[in-house]
Amino acid sequence: MEETLDKFSQNLSHFVNRVGKLSTFFIIPLVLITMWDVICRKLVWVQIWLVENLGRIFESTLLQELEWHFHTALFLMVLGYGFTHNRHVRVDFIRENLKFRTKVWIDFLGTTILMIPWICVLIYFSFIYVRESFIINEVSASLVGLSHRWVIKSFLIAGFLLSLLSGIAVWLQTFILLFGSRDYRLNPMTIDLPEVKEENQ
């Protein structure tokens, strides 16, 4: 049973990691658009000429909205990746001095009671939020802003789903460590393995 659960956990983790790595490419258009926006603010005449001759895609408001759209997409799509690689914000000054099994219990209870239920709530309300935006065909509040606001809002659902999958992957591993055979060895995602002298604690 441990091997099956661990394999399923690893598959979830690999999927989340793959999506997270691919999503880092959002940083390329984000940086390019930000650089272009800064240049246009310093050389206003260039932006005016571009808008008059090539269209409104070069307007500052549109560029700023594109910046935060790409920033939002990047942040949401790598949340799960950060969790499975233990790169999320954690108050470690207490946790780092605890025994290995206590850390496992903290991760198990944290994902069971807090993370997984809360993310399910977020997914539910994000779905309603995106659905309403799609129905009314929400656009930017700015006259020269972006249309189809539901597209960027749909990244909420995708990002929280990836976070849910990463939470389930970690939960499965902590479940194996707590209730599985002590002879079964795995490499936990969010907890460093103990030293040999601590293993029996």
CB atoms within 10 A of CB 195: 8
Return the higher-pLDDT residue of 91 and 97. Answer: 97
Instruction: Report yes or no: 79 and 163 within 8 Å, Cβ to Cβ.
Output: yes
Q: Return the minimum-mean-pLDDT range out of 52-61, 107-116, 178-187.
A: 52-61
Q: How far is 201 from 197, CA to CA, in rounded Å?
A: 8
pTM of the model as a whole: 0.84
Distances 165 to 98, 106, 115, 162, 197 between C-alpha atoms, Å: 27, 19, 11, 5, 33
Task: Label residue 198 by pLDDT band (50, 70, 90).
Answer: very low
